[in-house]
Each structure stands twice: as C-alpha cells, then as structure tokens.
Amino acid sequence: VPVPQVFPTRRGGIQLEWHLPSATLEWEIDPEDGSGVFIFDDHVSGERIDGEMPGDLDRLAQAAARIAIA
C-alpha cells in the first residue's frame, strides 16, 4: 500500500489520505475510541465507497485493497 499523507484533525484525531491518479481514499480516525469515517473514490469508474468505523470494516478493507493495486 502506498504511504498515506497524514494530517491532524480539529478534534485531535488523524486523517490518512491516499491520492493516486486512479483513486483516492480518505480515512479520519477519532482519538477517543478509534472510530471514524472513510471515503473512497475510483476516478476511472466513478464508483464511491464510504462508511463508518468500526461497522463498515469490510468496506474499508475493499477500498484499501483497491488503493494497493491502483
């Protein structure tokens, strides 16, 4: 998986971002309980995957796998 850009959030968490020519994944992690939200955009097909953690772990894994092969 490519190395993400890492940014602090206003609430003290972190946001991980992968910006590739074919896809983007942004994942914000809350510092209190490790929950968070993520958005994946496939720039080729126009598909979008988004969700909340920890409930949508399978969707996040699918998005991360697509970043890994992008």
Outline where the chain has alpha helix (H): 57-69
Per-residue pLDDT at 61: 94
Residue 63, judged by CB atoms within 10 A of its CB (0-12, 13-18, 19+), counts as buried
Give the DSSP letter of residue 31: T
- What is the pLDDT tens value at each position of the chain, 70 positions in all? 789 999 999 989 999 999 999 999 999 999 988 899 999 999 999 999 999 999 999 999 999 999 998 7
**pTM for the predicted model, two decimal places:** 0.90
